[in-house]
Amino acid sequence: MTPVIRMTGIEKRFPGVYALREAQFDLYAGEVHALMGENGAGKSTLMKILSGIYSPDSGSIQVNGQEEKIVGPRAAQALGIGIIHQELALMPDLNVAQNIFIGREPRNRWGVLNEAQLNRDAEAIFAAMKVPIDPKAEVRSLTIAKQQMVEIAKALSFRSRILIMDEPTAALNDAETDELFAIIRRLKSEGVAIVYISHKMDEIRRISDRVTVMRDGAYVGTVAAADTPIETIISMMVGRELDQTAAEIPDLSAAPVVLSVRGLKRGRMVRDVGFDLRRGEILGFAGLMGAGRTEVARVIFGADPREAGDITVNGQPRNIRSPRDAVAAGIGYLSEDRKHFGLALGIDVRGNIALPSLERFSDRFMRVDEPALAKVAADYIQSLAIRTPSDKQEVRLLSGGNQQKVVIAKWLLRDCDILIFDEPTRGIDVGAKAEIYRLLLDLAAQGKAIIVISSELPEVLRLSHRIAVMCEGRLTGILPGGPNTSQQEIMRLATLRDGALEGALA
């Protein structure tokens, strides 16, 4: 059987980066082929070449046995190659149907649009996908999961026989992931070939047939998904074995309570939430997406107004009304969306670390003490093992894991003793994940009080000394961490709805 895609000897250089060296990849009809590797391994670059967004410096691409040069997204579409980008490439102000057919609107020869036809065509695609989405809905109003479905519909509308999905589940919850997988299976049974890029091991096992691993822009190997142990795949990715230790629970009964929250309220997402956090403790926050965990963090941090409730820091009641107040109280919040809220991407590492502490490093004429900053930055680069050529490197050029470390350094320099991590390892590859875990445990051991919000149960279990579980804005229980708590117990609390809601949502 001829593969639908065969890429060999693909080379690509960007200024200063050797992105792909001798990369290769093949894909057969009706298979889901996972492409794995740490961030910066070259997966996305390789797929952008396949979809015509980048052109390779050298190498050969065969589509159905024919040598092809893919110039531009349009050429890729014509060859039946569709890509669903990691950062969704939709126009939020346009409606669903308009997004799907952008550039190919049904129209007469004067360029006048046939909106009715457009909506009918979109409806037909969703009917075939068995996904109920209104073609006339504005994309802005849809959930991320639904937007993902729109992207898939868009790719399918080209009659794509090859579908590239770049981390499609990064923002989906479990139910939504199941929905996506059902669609992937259906497409597969119709002979569509799917490239699946993901960091999530369990997903790879569930959905893919073969796994190709890349490292540092080069091809490492291809294995069958079903009978290859996860450890093997991980060691192919990182070139070393990973440790899988469970959380060790220190005895914190004597440690002082540093943060105490009582009766916190805001709308439907934060309903009467109360808990204590001790010095040196890691408190995990588990729950399904939309359970209100991020909302709790934002209210504590003063990013959203608090309707009711008391926040006490080190025994002192604090009226936190803005992030400024929270930072003054020693609370740092590390957003799940680093790129939007955590970092100034175009500024260098030193500048980002210094940002909240600039006043401390400047005199009364607002002159900044650069040498002192350079020294501090160098200290953190070393102590947190931030991999960067220098402290003058722009943050956008760092990998996800190293960006996260820059955010951590920033809050540590600001003397925050209470750190709230919201999805600290989202979009971070396996190797860097382990490093972030170790860093969090070290910080706790040094006496920082830490809250970790995570949608990945293994992560919560691995890190937390205690686990707070939320469901629909309510804190449904706090479980002890360690080996005695199971994922099932957490899930039970995470789905503990109150009676009225249960009836409405069933």
Q: Measured from the CB atom, is 76 or 412 closer to another protein?
A: 76
Question: Is the separation of the CB atoms in 398 and 344 below 8 Å?
Answer: no
Q: How far is the CB of 302 from another protein (least distance, A)?
A: 17
Q: Which is nearer to another protein, 57 or 93 (CB)?
A: 93
Parallel, antiparallel, or unpaired for β 17-27 and 5-14?
antiparallel
Q: Can you tell me which of 71, 89, 128, 246 binds another protein, judged by CB under 8 A? A: 89
CA-to-CA distance for 342 and 336, rounded, in angstroms? 8
8 Å CB contact between 209 and 189: no
Please tell me whether residue 340 binds another protein under the rule CB under 8 A: no
Least distance from C-beta 2 to another protein, angstroms? 26
421 token code pair? 């991590």
| Binder among 102, 226, 358, 385 for another protein (CB under 8 A) | 102
Q: Which of 176, 184, 236, 186 is nearest to 208 (CA)?
A: 184
Mark 106-135 with x for binding to another protein (rule: CB under 8 A) and - for no binding: -x--xxxx-x--------------------
Quote the least distance from Cβ 118 to another protein, whole Å: 10
Residue 28 Cβ vs another protein, minimum distance, rounded to whole Å? 26
98 is a contact residue toward another protein (CB under 8 A): yes
Check if the beta carbon of residue 409 is closer than 8 Å to that of residue 378.
Answer: no
Query: Per the structure block, which two tokens stand in for 60?
Result: 């050969």
Residue among 89 and 144 whose Cβ is closer to another protein: 89
- DSSP letter assigned to residue 481: -
Phi, psi of 266 (to 5 degrees): -160, 110
Nearer to another protein, 155 or 451 (CB): 155
- Give the number of residues written for the chain: 506
User: Phi-psi region for residue 429, left (φ > 0), alpha (ψ -120 to 50) or beta?
Assistant: beta
Nearest to another protein of 90, 286 (CB atom): 90
**302: how many CB neighbours lie within 10 A of its CB?**
23
**Order of strands across the sheet that contains 466-471:** 331-334, 418-422, 449-453, 282-286, 466-471, 474-480
Nearer to another protein by Cβ, of 157 and 352: the residue is 157
Residue 324 C-beta: closest distance to another protein, Å: 20
370 binds another protein (CB under 8 A): no
Instruction: Assess contact for 483 and 459: CB atoms under 8 A.
Output: no
Work out whether strand 270-278 and strand 257-266 pair parallel, antiparallel, or are unpaired.
Answer: antiparallel
Distance (Å, whole) CA 350 – CA 226: 45
Q: Is 392 near another protein (CB under 8 A)?
A: no
Tell me: does residue 105 bind another protein (CB under 8 A): yes
Residue from 6, 43, 85, 410 in contact with another protein (CB under 8 A): 85
Which of these ranges, 102-110, 206-214, 280-288, 453-461, lies near another protein under the rule CB under 8 A? 102-110
Site string for another protein, 41-60 (x = CB under 8 A): ------------x-------
Cα–Cα distance list, 139 to 90, 91, 152, 166 (Å):
8, 7, 14, 20
> How many residues bind to another protein according to rule CB under 8 A?
25
Closest distance to another protein from the beta carbon of 352 (Å) = 24
- Per-residue contact track with another protein, 60 to 79, x per CB under 8 A? ------------xxx-xx--
Q: How far apart are CA 211 and CA 62, in angstroms?
A: 20
If the CB atoms of residues 80 and 284 are measured against another protein, the closer one turns out to be: 80
CA neighbor of 354 nearest in space, from 363, 343, 338? 343
Contacts by 438-446 with C-beta closer than 8 Å and gap 24+?
439/384, 439/405, 439/408, 440/282, 441/282, 443/408, 443/412, 443/419, 444/280, 444/281, 444/282, 445/250, 445/280, 446/280
Residue located via tokens 């956090």: 277
Shortest spacing between CB 83 and another protein, in angstroms: 8
Q: Does 103 bind another protein (CB under 8 A)?
A: yes
Please tell me the distance from the alpha carbon of residue 32 to that of residue 493, in angstroms, as a whole number. Answer: 34
CB of 140 to another protein, least distance (A): 9
Per CB under 8 A, the list member of 9, 62, 94, 222 interacting with another protein is 94
Q: How far is the CB of 298 from another protein (least distance, A)?
A: 15
Nearer to another protein by C-beta: 110 or 365? Answer: 110
Least distance to another protein, CB of residue 154, Å: 8
Residue among 90 and 419 whose Cβ is closer to another protein: 90
Cα(211)–Cα(215) distance, rounded to whole angstroms?
A: 13
Task: Please identify which residue in 22, 57, 93, 370 interacts with another protein, judged by CB under 8 A.
Answer: 93
Rule CB under 8 A: is residue 374 a binding residue for another protein? Answer: no
Q: Which is nearer to another protein, 51 or 198 (CB)?
A: 51
CA distance 289 to 273: 17
Pick 94 or 220: Cβ nearer another protein: 94
Binding site for another protein (CB under 8 A): 53, 72-74, 76-77, 83, 85, 89-94, 98, 102-103, 105, 107, 110-113, 115, 154
